[in-house]
Amino acid sequence: MSDKTTEQITMLNSQLKSLDAPLQTLAVTALLKTMYEAQEVRELLRERAALTHADKSAYDALVAAEPDVDPGISYEARVEKYGEEAARGHLRPRHLALERRKETMAAMDAFNKVHPLIDEISRLTSRLVGSR
């Protein structure tokens, strides 16, 4: 293959990839219309957005949940320095944040299993909006 042909194929491939998300969005939208009423789609999208927001908040809280006392040391070093009970107390906010994140992820997974098309259209929409 010549360099010009390779360049043309690369350019064509790039153009075809740019059509992928819009075409998928059209296909999922057509399926949504066969599965749900328009009002139901709006309600489910709002519900999924609320779940996404709750999960993002739980993630942010988990990332921020560092112990106030010696934030950089390991659990073992913490136990050695402060004792088992104090070490657990230091890490309690992180443990609670982790449990909350597990709950929000489970809620999101449960929703997505029941409504896979809503999940897909949400992801595609985010991808399309994010690419602008």
Nearest CA-CA partner of 111 in 61, 46, 62, 20 = 46
- Report the predicted TM-score, pTM, of the whole model to 2 decimal places: 0.74
Mean pLDDT of the chain: 90
Q: Does a structural domain hold residue 10?
A: no
Q: Which of 19-28, 29-38, 44-53 has the lowest mean pLDDT?
A: 19-28
Per-residue pLDDT tens digits for 94-114? 999 999 999 999 999 999 999
CA-based nearest residue to 40, from 115, 105, 109, 108: 115
Is residue 11 one of the residues assigned to a domain? no
Do the domain assignments include residue 9?
no
65 is in which domain, residue-wise? 21-130
Q: Is residue 120 pLDDT above 60, yes or no? A: yes
| Contact in structure between 48 and 118 (CB atoms under 8 Å) | yes
129 within 8 A of 33, measured Cβ to Cβ = no
Residue 1 lies in a domain: no
Q: Is residue 109 part of a domain?
A: yes
Quote the number of domains for the chain: 1
